[in-house]
Structures are given as C-alpha cells and as structure tokens.
C-alpha cells in the first residue's frame, strides 16, 4: 500500500555565483502538476518576483528550469489571479491564468506557451452556470488549479466552485462552473475566517473523476448557561428582574469526521464517496523527529488537533496534519484510508514555520 507512507520532500533552489542575501525570501513552489512545478523566487535586487517552470524530465530527458518571460510586467498590467495552471502541449507547456472581466460572471483567460519567442494572449470568456443555479454575485478566489485532461484546467475555489476551461481552445466553450458540495454544518462559521478553504477541503482529479474531501471538527458545548423562562411562572419577584449572570461557555473538540464526494465532468451532481469518524480510527503511535520511527507516545487519534485534508490521487486516501496542540514544534502527516477506515504510518515533521490552518506544503508526485 504505497499510500500509507507519505514522504516529505524539500525543494532547494541554488543559484551558483549569487550571494544568498540577494534572495528576499525562500523560493516557493506555487503549484505543481505531474513532474512539473512552478517556482516563485523573490530577489532583493528587483521590484518583482521571477517565476520559473521546473521540469524533472524535459523533452531531452534531463531536468530543466526555465524562466517565464515578462511574467511580472504582464501580471502587473493585467492583475492575474495566482496560482497559475499549466498543461502539456506538443512537448511544450501552456501556462494559463485568469483575471476579472468587465462584469460579473466574466473572466479574461491569459495564456503563454513555453515555446521560444511566445507572447501572452488574452480572451474574454463568459461563465456558463448550471441549470437552476442562482446568479448571485460571484468572485472566484481559487486555492489551486487542477489539470482535467487534454487542455482542460479547473480553477478551484474550495468554498464556491470550480471554473473549468479548455485553455488550448478557449473559443470552443465558455467557462463552466461546477458548484462545490454543501458544507458540513460546523464548517459554515469558517467561511469568513479562512478565505481559501484549505483548512477543511481539498479537490483533485484522477481517472476521470473530480474528487472532493471535507473535514469537520466535532465540538461539544459545555457549561451552557441556564436561561430563565418565565412562560410557566405564576409570579415574578422584583428581585428576579436582573438579567441572568453571564456564564462561560466552553467549546470542547470531541473528535472529527470527514466525507468524500466524486463526479465526472459531465454529471450535474456530486455523489457521496466514503465517510470516516475519528472514533473509527482508535489509538495511534506518534514517532518523533530523528527517532527512527520509534514511538514515545500513544494517544487516541481524535484528541489530536487536526486540519487541512489533502487527497491522494486515488481518491480513497486522505492526508491530514495533526499535532498535540496548536503552536507545537512537531506535527504529523497522517494517512487515512477512507475506504477501509484505517490509519497508515504517521510521519513527523518540524512545524515551526507552518500555519496549522493553511500548511505551506503541497502534494507532489515526482518519483
């Protein structure tokens, strides 16, 4: 079961002959697809970032790192939405981005080929809404871009929906909106606090299916104050006029659950996949960094602080980030098989510079 052993990797960008002080920050992998990665690099010697496409296997069989020409000048002029997406086409890449159109439900599609001497092109597209969907104001705030086969890309707003477009033939069809599944009840409060939604959701595409996972913390309210109800009282004493004294309400996390959904590109609905409750998974062993896999602590999985589900490409395995408490220096990647309701190996990593609710790691499939 290869999914049981997630492996953590680290991208390292080296620029021979340059002093490290010229980097404004550590280079960042913005997005990835297959054996390609888009890397953003900021230098202290310029006003803008540079963007590179890294390919583990270029057409000549060797790795390559290619600068995207004029990206920042063009992006500044057009206010491109990041992250970008890209597809393979005739041994080259086609890079694609969206920007707001002149009216609601319109977007500009911007594309650039990695072929030499290519320039950016722009096309205005109208969003095609599913039948019966209300035309409420909508602005996509996408967390990721997924490849859907051929020239199709999907810009994934984890709260609202997925905009799908054929970037190789943008005039062949409009942008199509696939709405996201309805949120689980406790997650609605997160809508305003986590703009990109990675804290509870992820979306992938594999073997012809768009797959979605949603995670929900289960909270129990304790010390709920009793409220005086005069409805059945015969008399009310003047001394009882005062408001009930405030009492502290404590929300205690008692576990979590997750659910997966799937659909094809032609369906007009999501279908339920698997469901898992933290009570199903029992006790786990927590290996420590540098311990060689030896465990020093065993705890029920449901007591760990857990968030940020990430789907494996097969749709059954989900990776979660967990820690004993927030602001811990060590966290674990936990692999959960949603079909068999079992837990794979836990992988510890340093979480000192990680936002627990928006981890700065991305799934990547390089061999």
Instruction: Judge whether residue 206 has pLDDT over 60.
Output: yes
At residue 365 the predicted structure's pLDDT band, cuts being 50, 70 and 90, is: low
Mean pLDDT of 228-255: 65
pTM attached to this predicted model: 0.84
Residue with tokens 């409750």: 277
CA 114, CA 302: separation in Å to the nearest integer? 47
CA 86, CA 216: separation in Å to the nearest integer? 31
For residue 356, say if its preceding peptide bond is cis, omega within 30 degrees of 0: no
pLDDT given for residue 1 in this prediction:
46
Contacting residues for 334 by C-beta, under 8 A, at least 6 apart: 284, 301, 306, 319, 320, 321, 322, 343, 344, 346
Residues 86 and 118: beta-carbon distance below 8 Å:
no
Token pair recorded at residue 171: 């005039």
CA 345, CA 363: separation in Å to the nearest integer? 17
pLDDT given for residue 236 in this prediction:
67
More confident residue, 329 or 48: 329
172-196 pLDDT per residue, tens: 667 899 999 998 988 888 877 777 7
Instruction: Judge whether residue 212 has pLDDT over 90.
Output: yes
pLDDT given for residue 154 in this prediction:
95
Residues 257 and 216: beta-carbon distance below 8 Å:
yes
With b for 16 or more beta-carbon neighbours within 10 A and e for fewer, the 109-147 pattern comes to bbbbbbeeeeebeeeebebebeeeeeeeebebebbbbbb
Closest to 276 measured CA to CA, from 198, 336, 344, 323: 336
Closest to 81 measured CA to CA, from 60, 97, 63: 97
pLDDT given for residue 273 in this prediction:
93
CA 143, CA 332: separation in Å to the nearest integer? 23
304-325 pLDDT per residue, tens: 989 889 888 766 889 999 988 7
59-95 pLDDT per residue, tens: 788 888 888 877 877 887 888 888 888 888 877 888 8
CA 201, CA 167: separation in Å to the nearest integer? 25
CA 144, CA 156: separation in Å to the nearest integer? 5
CA 340, CA 282: separation in Å to the nearest integer? 13
- Which of 224-228, 263-267, 307-311, 325-329 comes out lowest in average pLDDT? 224-228
Contacting residues for 105 by C-beta, under 8 A, at least 6 apart: 126, 127, 129, 135, 138
pLDDT given for residue 294 in this prediction:
60
271-299 pLDDT per residue, tens: 999 999 999 999 998 888 876 656 678 89
**Extents of the domains making up the chain:** 24-180, 204-225+249-367
Mean pLDDT of 41-52: 78
Q: Left if phi > 0, otherwise alpha if psi is -120 to 50, otherwise beta: which for 243?
A: beta
SS3 per residue for 298-339: EEEHHHCEEEEEEECCCCCEEEEEEECCCCCCEEEEEEEECC
Instruction: Judge whether residue 257 has pLDDT over 60.
Output: yes
CA 222, CA 232: separation in Å to the nearest integer? 26
At residue 341 the predicted structure's pLDDT band, cuts being 50, 70 and 90, is: very high
143-171 pLDDT per residue, tens: 889 989 889 999 999 998 999 999 998 77
pLDDT given for residue 227 in this prediction:
64
DSSP 207-248: TTEEEEEEEEEEEEEESPPP---GGG-S---GGG-SPPPP--
């Amino acid at each position: 079961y290869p999914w049981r052993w997630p492996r953590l990797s680290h991208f390292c960008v080296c620029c021979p002959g340059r002093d490290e002080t010229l980097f404004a920050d550590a280079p960042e992998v913005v997005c990835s697809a297959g054996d390609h990665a888009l890397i953003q690099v900021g230098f202290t010697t310029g006003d803008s970032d540079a963007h590179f496409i890294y390919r583990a296997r270029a057409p000549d069989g060797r790795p390559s790192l290619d600068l995207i020409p004029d990206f920042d000048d063009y992006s500044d002029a057009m206010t491109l939405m990041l992250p970008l997406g890209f597809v393979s086409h005739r041994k080259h890449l086609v890079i694609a981005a969206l920007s707001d159109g002149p009216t609601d439900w319109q977007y500009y599609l911007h594309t650039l080929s990695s072929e030499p001497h290519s320039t950016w092109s722009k096309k205005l597209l109208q969003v095609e809404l599913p039948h019966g969907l209300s035309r409420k104001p909508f602005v996509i705030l996408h967390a990721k871009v997924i490849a859907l086969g051929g020239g199709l890309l999907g810009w994934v707003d984890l709260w609202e929906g997925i905009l799908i477009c054929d970037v190789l033939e943008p005039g062949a069809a409009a942008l199509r909106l696939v709405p996201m599944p309805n949120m689980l009840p406790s997650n609605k409060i997160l809508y305003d606090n986590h703009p990109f939604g990675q804290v509870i959701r992820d979306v992938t595409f594999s073997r012809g299916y768009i797959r979605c996972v949603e995670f929900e913390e289960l909270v129990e309210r304790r010390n709920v104050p009793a409220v005086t109800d005069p409805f059945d009282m015969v008399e009310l004493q003047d001394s009882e006029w005062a408001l009930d004294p405030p009492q502290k309400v404590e929300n205690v996390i008692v576990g979590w659950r997750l659910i997966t959904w799937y659909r094809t590109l032609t369906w007009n609905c999501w279908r339920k996949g698997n469901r898992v409750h933290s009570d199903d998974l029992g006790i786990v062993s927590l290996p420590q960094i540098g311990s060689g896999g030896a465990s020093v602590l065993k705890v029920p999985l449901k007591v760990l602080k857990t968030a940020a589900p990430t789907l494996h490409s097969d749709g059954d395995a989900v990776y979660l980030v967990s820690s004993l408490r927030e602001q811990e220096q060590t966290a674990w990647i936990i692999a959960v098989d949603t079909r068999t309701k079992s837990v794979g190996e836990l992988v510890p990593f340093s979480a000192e510079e990680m936002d627990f609710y928006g981890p700065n790691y991305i799934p990547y499939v390089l061999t």
